[in-house]
Amino acid sequence: MNKIPQVFPWIGSEEIQNVTKVLQNNWLTEGPFCKEFSSRLNAMIGCKYGVFAPNGTLALFLGLLALGIGPGDEVIVPDSTFIGSANAVILTGAQPVFVDVTRENFQIDMEKVQDLITEKTGAIMPVHLFGMSANMRAVMDVAGRNGLKVIEDAAQGVGVTYEGKHTGTFGDVGCFSFFADKTITIGEGGYVVTNDDTIYESLLYLRNQGRLDRGSFIHPAIGYNFRITDMQAAIGLAQLEKLPTIIERKLEIYRLYREGLEDVDEISFPVVEEGSNNVPFRFVILAPDAKKLMEYLDERIVQTRSFFYPLHKQPCFQSERFTKQKGTYFVNSVYGYERGLCLPVYPMLSEENIRSICGHIREFYHE
């Protein structure tokens, strides 16, 4: 039997037909498909404005720049997240300050944020992990009381809502990713949303070489090239059409996993944040001997993933610049890395595959 991959994008005839139209139109850079994709995304997310970026990390970088974050500023970032969240802060010249996550679901621990706020703190970056929202009521309360900007890392947050409102729309800006493993994909790509007119204008200048009209060679501001292609947007439009089916299928896969593993006493599951819906990014379990279980599954049937390696332990963050906080402060992010395991939930995963995965997990603990 072939090994079940961790990621398998659902690409079909609809995407191929749209890309063919782009090639036939001979408009390869941002054009009509980008315009329609953006409009459809804004309607789905429920935001006034949105601009594309080449990937999720650069979407965060672009959003931070539009908020005026730069050298001398600090941005509070959860310790358990992909390193791109912190690297986007570093790109601006600002300093990421790491904060632990909760034990219940590994979202940013807002009870620990207040102690990290200094006169240098400019923003908080909640990260919506594993297909659920962070506690945005608490995030916005702390930010409001301390006069801080909020940039939401919603890379995994397409289709995810909190108290009925889509992730990415609570803060000053929200940033999404369309990487190959995301709920909808265009291969690489990002999206920055805002409801603020001034921030939107700043985003337009920053992403288009400091001008509003790409046909002009007069540049009123400093800017960069953050554009994507119409071929990517063509794929995105087809993916967006599939989104309801993708979510429905992911939830069915989640249900089958829970049923298949309910009799395994050794494992537990993160709790979905109160107020959030659930659009599973992976099927996440917490297990003793998680690394051995991953090896066991990899040898037999399925590719797995661990939780993110805690940022405070990353080799590249071991200089004095990043080591103000002691390692014992991050007990939950370390706990998650040591015990967390992610199983695939892509829409084409079959019920037979899920039964096999669950069976091997039961075998591991019985042995």
Q: What is the pLDDT of residues 58-106, one digit of tens each?
A: 999 999 999 999 999 999 999 999 999 999 999 999 999 999 999 999 9
Q: Quick check: helix, strand or coil at residue 301?
A: coil
User: Where residue 257 sits, what CATH number does that domain have?
Assistant: 3.90.1150.10
Confidence of residue 320 (pLDDT cuts 50, 70, 90): confident
Mean pLDDT, residues 320-330: 69
340-343 and 305-306 beta bridge pairing: antiparallel
Beta bridge partners of 340: 286
The whole-number pLDDT of residue 366 equals 86
Q: Is 5 a domain residue?
A: no
Whether 36 and 156 share a structural domain? yes
Whether 288 and 232 share a structural domain? no
Is 51's pLDDT higher than 60?
Answer: yes
The whole-number pLDDT of residue 326 equals 55
Q: If you average pLDDT over every residue of the chain, what do you get?
A: 95
Q: Is 6 a domain residue?
A: no
Whether 156 and 250 share a structural domain? no
Q: How many domains does the chain contain in total?
A: 2
pTM above 0.75, yes or no: yes
* Structural domain boundaries enclosing 298: 243-366
Is 242's pLDDT higher than 60?
Answer: yes
Whether 93 and 186 share a structural domain? yes
The whole-number pLDDT of residue 79 equals 97
Whether 76 and 188 share a structural domain? yes
CB 238 within 8 A of CB 184: no
Structure tokens at 32: 């009509």
CB 45 within 8 A of CB 193: yes
Confidence of residue 324 (pLDDT cuts 50, 70, 90): low
The whole-number pLDDT of residue 196 equals 98
Whether 84 and 24 share a structural domain? yes
The whole-number pLDDT of residue 342 equals 97
User: Where residue 95 sits, what CATH number does that domain have?
Assistant: 3.40.640.10
d(CA 101, CA 108): 4
Question: What is the maximal distance between C-alpha atoms in the chain?
Answer: 70
Q: Give the domain-ending residue among 202, 237, 272.
A: 237
d(CA 266, CA 169): 38
Is 328's pLDDT higher than 80?
Answer: no
Q: Give the domain-ending residue among 190, 206, 237.
A: 237
